[in-house]
Amino acid sequence: MNLDLSQCCPEGFEIEGVTSFQNIKDTVVGKDIICTDSLPSGVADEFQKCQVTKETLSFANEGAVLKPCPPFNCGQEVSSDAIDSKYFVGYEFQKRIFEVEQAIIIFCLTRSFFER
């Protein structure tokens, strides 16, 4: 699908096969969609440099969107000012996620069918 995925995490939390950064600014440069995930209990301090803020979102592409995975914790993986910013797509996006997932499945099935 030609996606450019990267993650921001401290050393030791990297996902194999995904470009990892330890600085959130470097991670969001050139990105269109910024997603977050809830942090496991006890590691929030280790991820402080990975918090998405309104300032760091300004380094993303024009028109970029922020989609934190609920439940998100303001002050941990995402700041309050990021949630209150123009970047946050809100809960409307979550209502449409099923259609997005279906479109991805159809795209993948169609693509693999025609590549035979």
CA atoms within 13 A on the CB side of 113: 6
pTM: 0.79
What mean pLDDT, rounded, does the chain reach? 88
What is the C-alpha end-to-end distance of the chain, expressed in Å? 17
pLDDT digits (tens, 9 = 90+) for 71-84: 888 888 999 999 99
d(CA 111, CA 54): 37
pLDDT (mean) for 45-54: 92
Peptide bond into 10 cis (omega under 30): no
Structure tokens at 103: 């479109």
| β strands within 40-112, DSSP E | 65-68
Q: What is the pLDDT of residue 7?
A: 96
If residue 57 lies in a helix (H) or strand (E), which one and from where to where? helix 54-57
6-90, CATH topology level: Rossmann fold (3.40.50)
